[in-house]
Structure 1
């Protein structure tokens, strides 16, 4: 299965087209939620396996992939609360039943936010290399000023439209995307031309720069440690041990929360284990989703 061979569908959410794909005829419902800058295609190696026994849906969050990318405004904000509401409405209107929510990176926080704000839509959550949100205002307050100052200045500068557009155009190139992926992934053979193009295509859409700038400056909202204590459903955490962005040493602390039933380190794997090591991730997710005892 490749992203190019799958037929996508469109669902209107508050007037905005939302792209998603679906597979599987029977079994429990699963909703897959991508990370920053990605799309449903980042789950292309997982969907066929999960769809053997589940109804699987993979969604492009507002602002990403094939979904609408409206300008931030008084009525449109790129926050976890917005995306949590989107996922909850998707479960009610498209899926039609409570679902197992599976996220990668910021998609983990979206899954938890959906479950916390709308307990009726989530049977449980699976978190793959959850974003620790190290640029959050509260996180920066805990580190020396000279380490956090540069990030804060960069966020403010990127708030200037012409600066963010120039910066975005410089990083939205095949060479730069490949270089970033080779940092995030530990298995270089997983960084394919297909993957690079899959990430680059939505970046050419009108509005992509504004979404990038809006989220880059987003330093508020929930942290994982805010949501885990109030999570109304069980959780499993998978973590690539070689993640250069979200250190597993910090991630292991999640195992101390009551909602987290399992913490599974994935040896030799980076930030996106579902794409880099699907042969490790798929059996764990399948067992978790189909298990009646959590």
Structure 2
């Protein structure tokens, strides 16, 4: 498939500049939401293909990519309430119609949060290796004893802004990023120089280290299992079988919620299947969204007496 250049656009939200892209002119609207430390560029292999039959939108969450990176709390905290509200307003103001929300990693939690905040604006939610947020304090009882005992010390350490800034700058180097991604990707060949630069460019911007500091100190907030029971639209879950960060064995537990129509394992893929095996992910998205359209126009049948 030939590369299609899609220009970045800017949307003002709470006085902050938000970067986004749009492609496609017909079909259902899809909103693609990236994970932690990533940006809309993580969907670069999906947008052109999906745009053939859909109106596709991708945005950089506040604090990431080419979106603004204000100091934490000035004016908004970096948490799921903020990002969920950002997606709700984006769908209302930019998309202009109810959309399918597609999120990878923490983007999955953001998609769920947005769908719960404004159910009338979500036609469906697709979770791609959704973040299970195992660092959350409410999940501490599931962790090994040493990790539970060390949590108070860890939290105190991470509150040290200068130390976390130093850690961030140690991580935000090409060699380190490459090593981290090679552990997260089931397909090491997908870890390209282009991908490394895509992730590093926003990390060089002023404010990026503070975003990192603020987020890793978030030991509270919603879990997928909090939000899925509140979902009023259907959900699809895609999960890489080789994901080392969010193991599929734990991810399968999310399939038990009534809103989840299907849980599809993606053989050999790691934490970011949309970048590793884009054709497979695109195919599942297209098929599922098409089925939702058929279901929406299918005639109703009265239940048997």
TM-score using structure 1 length: 0.96
Q: Is the 8 A contact 1:155 1:216 kept in 2?
A: no
Aligned equivalent of 2:300: none
Deviation for aligned residue 1:152: 4.6
Aligned length: 293
Aligned equivalent of 1:293: 295
User: Which string of whole-angstrom CA distances, capped at 9 and with x for unpartnered residues, describes residues 191-237 of structure 1?
Assistant: 00000000000000110000000000101110000001111110000
Moved more, 280-289 or 71-80: 71-80
Aligned partner of residue 135 in structure 1, secondary structure: coil
Aligned partner of residue 141 in structure 1, secondary structure: helix
Aligned partner of residue 104 in structure 1, secondary structure: strand
Deviation for aligned residue 1:144: 4.0
* Separation in structure 2 between the aligned mates of residue 150 and residue 44 of structure 1, nearest angstrom: 39
Aligned partner of residue 265 in structure 1, secondary structure: strand
Deviation for aligned residue 1:75: 3.6
**1:54 maps to 2:38:** no
Q: Is the 8 A contact 2:236 2:263 kept in 1?
A: yes
Q: Which runs of 5+ in 2 are unaligned?
A: 297-305
Aligned equivalent of 1:241: 241
Deviation for aligned residue 1:2: 6.2
Aligned partner of residue 237 in structure 1, secondary structure: strand
Moved more, 172-181 or 147-156: 147-156
Aligned partner of residue 11 in structure 2, secondary structure: strand
CA RMSD of superposed structures (Å): 1.4
Moved more, 216-225 or 73-82: 73-82
* Separation in structure 2 between the aligned mates of residue 214 and residue 244 of structure 1, nearest angstrom: 24
Q: Is the 8 A contact 1:274 1:281 kept in 2?
A: yes
User: Which string of whole-angstrom CA distances, capped at 9 and with x for unpartnered residues, describes residues 82-122 of structure 1?
Assistant: 10100000000000001000000000000000000111211
Alignment of 1:1-294 (within 5 A): 5-73=5-73, 75-291=75-291, 292-293=294-295
* Separation in structure 1 between the aligned mates of residue 119 and residue 213 of structure 2, nearest angstrom: 31
* Separation in structure 1 between the aligned mates of residue 245 and residue 239 of structure 2, nearest angstrom: 12
Deviation for aligned residue 1:188: 1.1
* Separation in structure 2 between the aligned mates of residue 242 and residue 151 of structure 1, nearest angstrom: 27
Q: Is the 8 A contact 2:20 2:59 kept in 1?
A: yes
Q: Is the 8 A contact 1:242 1:267 kept in 2?
A: yes
Moved more, 66-75 or 202-211: 66-75
Pick the structure with greater CA Rg. 2
Moved more, 147-156 or 245-254: 147-156
TM-score using structure 2 length: 0.93
Structure 1 runs of 4+ aligned residues shifted over 6 Å read none
* Separation in structure 2 between the aligned mates of residue 267 and residue 224 of structure 1, nearest angstrom: 23
* Separation in structure 1 between the aligned mates of residue 18 and residue 153 of structure 2, nearest angstrom: 33
* Separation in structure 2 between the aligned mates of residue 165 and residue 106 of structure 1, nearest angstrom: 21
Aligned partner of residue 142 in structure 2, secondary structure: coil
Q: Which runs of 5+ in 1 are unaligned?
A: none
Q: Structure 1 9/71 Cα, relative in aligned 2: closer, same or farther at 3 Å?
A: same
* Separation in structure 1 between the aligned mates of residue 243 and residue 148 of structure 2, nearest angstrom: 21
* Separation in structure 1 between the aligned mates of residue 150 and residue 276 of structure 2, nearest angstrom: 31
